Structure 1
Amino acid sequence: MEEKIKQLLTAIVHPETGQDIVTSGFIEHTAAAAGKVTVVLRFAKTRDPFALKIKKQAEELLQEAFPGSEVLVVIKEGGAAPRPEPKLKTTTGGIAHVIAVASGKGGVGKSTVTANLAVALRNMGYRVGILDADIYGPSQPKMFGVEGYLPEAVQEDGEDRIIPARSMEIELMSIGFFIKPTDALLWRGAMAVSALKQMIHQTRWGTLDFLLADLPPGTGDVHLSIIGELKIDAAVIVSTPQQVAVADVVRGVEMFRNEHVGIPVAGVIENMAWFTPAELPDNRYYLFGRGGARAMAEKSGVPFLGEIPIVQSIMEGSDAGCPAASTHPMVEKSYREIAEKVVEQVMKNGR
């Protein structure tokens, strides 16, 4: 299909070079899947005067060739196209659904939510994996007690495959297996993106019902790269009740809703919703405000998935390498209710 796209685009000639845009090296990326055709163009000049004209020609040509498909032609600024990377033979074919877990800012417990959500899904009988793509602070190895794991590579059908860690019947691949904690913040741009692509496409995931992708906080290049490499079915946004955290939820929702991304938001989870001391089980103390994430979800028109209280066992479980949803009935109940809603949203969207 991608070869057909390039073949079609050879009909478009750049007025200045006199050559077609494929021969000129202006095609940076092409993709075709699930009724969507995407082409990324990068011209030799930063502000090529013919760029918009060529974009329009390409859109018309592809729309005619692929009637009924959504056609997206994107122009990227800045210099000639880099040499195309060799296509990796992906190992993601056995993954039924991918759920991105994101947050508008750091410190809201996104990785803890990911780990416990994975355990809840496993308890519901699903085969689950986690892709820890948080390059600024990979937490999943600690959450599951596999910090010392060193991934091995094996040859399968002439291809290198990376063996994921396995803990509590959950397949786990983390950027943290490849870098020292002190180096995490030094990873930027191309280096991080390249490593993540390799993790996504070369990990021996096997057959999974759900892969949870623990994304870095905020919005940026790493998120867009992962979105481009994985067919994500839905996104879950994690927030706390604080207004400063809730305001960032909007940015997260809008990133996934962007017309060039188009990933359904399954909903918002409010973490650290209240605190109940063990000695006063009927008391609730709303340390960070009350209901902010729920209100923001309603305002943004996305489902509210539920509240997670501050429970000492959740923190202790994360530190001990055993997510609390696997040992604490109340925590498991909270996460199972959220997991059921997430599954319902994913199945309803039917991506």
Structure 2
Amino acid sequence: MEEQIKNLLRQVIHPETQRDIVESGLVEQIASDDGRIAVTLRFTKARDPFAVKIKNRVETLLHEAYPDAAATVIVKEGGTAPRPEPKLKSTTGGIAHVIAIASGKGGVGKSTVTANLAVALRNLGYRVGILDADIYGPSQPKMFGVEGYLPEAVREEGEDRILPAEAMDIKLMSIGFFIKPTDALLWRGAMAVNALKQMIHQTRWGTLDFLLCDLPPGTGDVHLSIIGELKIDAAVIVSTPQQVAVADVVRGVELFRNENVRIPVAGIIENMAWFTPEELPQNRYYLFGRGGARRYAEANGVELLGEIPIVQSIMEGSDEGHPAAGIDPRVEEWYRAIAQRIVEKAVKGC
């Protein structure tokens, strides 16, 4: 029966290592006798953040498979480290700096900011790439007008390499290239993370000065995977002025400041800071409140990198596949100033 239980527990995947808990050596002991089952889990890390989640998953599987048995799951800490997972031969060696673009919640324009920052960095003379890591809502193909791109694979040095799309001299890789726009991406966390790892390590990035990672909103498996797979030089948080958005900024900042993560936060960008009508370029209307991100930044020792207003060219550029920083001098000026601050912080280590 112990072997049956062991096979059952192979369904449980540790979110950080992406390996099942049996293979990882986390199942220390399995005992069954007289209608009782006891499973002992030993985690290498003290206070493993996934320990409770894994314990609950094991209990659920045991109750479902053996409803008449009394199942107990015991958690211990400290022990021999799991065998290291073999690493993919990575194509990221030519990337000088990686910048994570994150947001506490959706709908704040994070992908639009990422696209325009990439163009601004290119305008400053840098070689730039974008990893669209927003697995469940990939936007970069549309932002750059390459929705129909179908990635090809080439064989180099005995390894498969995926050719990225190129638009406006920017290299792009997105899960959006591999699915139809009408398809729902019904993936569990582990499947999404594995696809992301392939995009990171098998894309032929070449030599880049900056790789911008467009992360999903919030915090979760994808964020932890990115942090584990790439050496991120700095994180940029995108928010809008209203309090509900700024409240979620806290989660984003604290994710990168966590003692187990320790990625410098370059600062906050306040998007949709005000509305300027095309016919009244000097007028400003603060539709979502005023200065919420600025107040948070000042109170928490985070730099406000800049404010981006709502202007027609930004919205039109996103819809038409031409980021506004490449066609509207006003927008380019705003993003150029932010890009310069990010460059300074990335190079100096914030």
One-letter amino acid of the counterpart of residue 309, structure 1: P
CA distance in 2, matches of 1:166, 1:254: 34
Contact kept in structure 2, 1:95 and 1:211, CA below 8 Å: yes
Change in Cα spacing, 1:45 to 1:183, as seen in structure 2 (3 Å) is: farther
Residue deviations 1:302-331 (CA, integer Å, cap 9, x gap) = 111000000100010011100000000000
Which residue of 1 is the match for residue 6 of structure 2? none
- Partner Cα distance (2:41, 2:335) in 1: 53
Give the corresponding residue for 1:313. Answer: 313
2:348 is the counterpart of 1:348: yes
Q: Residue 43 of structure 1 aligns to which amino acid in structure 2?
A: L
Separation of aligned partners in 2, 1:181 and 1:215:
19
Q: In the alignment, does 2:179 pair up with 1:179?
A: yes
Query: What SS does the aligned partner of 1:100 have?
Result: strand
Distance 1:50 1:85 in 2: 19
> Are 1:43 and 2:15 matched, yes or no?
no
Indicate the residue corresponding to 2:336 in structure 1.
Answer: 336
- Provide TM-score, normalisation by structure 1: 0.79
What percentage of aligned pairs have identical amino acids?
Answer: 78
Aligned-pair distance for 1:301? 1.2
Q: Which has the larger radius of gyration?
A: 2
For structure 2, the 5+ residue unaligned runs are 1-13, 18-23, 30-37, 59-80
| Residue aligning to 1:22 | none
* Cα displacement (A) at 1:146: 0.3
Whether the 8 Å CA contact 2:26–2:82 is kept in 1: the answer is no
**TM-superposed deviation, 1:187:** 2.5
Inter-partner Cα distance in structure 2 for 1:84 and 1:179: 32
Q: Specify the alignment match of 1:138 in structure 2.
A: 138
* Cross-structure match for 2:169: 169
**Would the alpha carbon gap of residues 295 and 48 (structure 1) be closer, same or farther in structure 2, given more than 3 Å must change?**
farther
- Aligned ranges for residues 121-160 of structure 1 at < 5 Å? 121-160=121-160
The aligned counterpart of 2:284 is: 284
* Superposed CA RMSD: 2.7
2:117 paired residue number: 117
- Residues 312, 82 of structure 1: alpha-carbon distance in 2 compared, 3 angstrom cutoff: farther
Tell me, in whole angstroms, the C-alpha distance in 2 between the residues paired with 1:122 and 1:291.
Answer: 29
Number of the residue aligned with 2:246: 246
Q: C-alpha distance in 2, partners of 1:189/1:325?
A: 34
What is residue 303 of structure 1 aligned with on the other side?
303
Shift of residue 76 of structure 1?
Answer: 5.0
Separation (CA, whole Å) in 2 of partners of 1:87 and 1:230: 12
Q: CA deviation at 1:278?
A: 1.6
Between the aligned partners of 1:293 and 1:75, the Cα distance in structure 2 is: 29
Distance verdict in 2 for CA 1:50–1:271, change over 3 Å: closer
Compute the displacement of 1:84 (Å): 7.0
Q: Which residue pairs with 2:325 in the alignment? A: 325
- Which amino acid counterpart does residue 286 of structure 1 have in structure 2? Y
In structure 1, the partner of 2:232 is: 232
Deviation at 1:85, TM superposition (A): 5.4
CA-to-aligned-CA distance 1:233-270 (integer Å, 9 cap, x gap):
00000000011001000000000001111100000000
TM-score when scaled to structure 2?
A: 0.79
CA contact (8 A) 1:141 1:147 kept: yes
Contact 1:135 1:184 in 2 (8 A): no
Aligned residue pairs: how many? 298
Residues 27, 40 of structure 2: 8 Å contact kept: no
Partner secondary structure for residue 154 of structure 2: strand
Superposed displacement of residue 179, structure 1: 1.8
TM-aligned CA distance change 1:135 to 1:301, over 3 Å? same
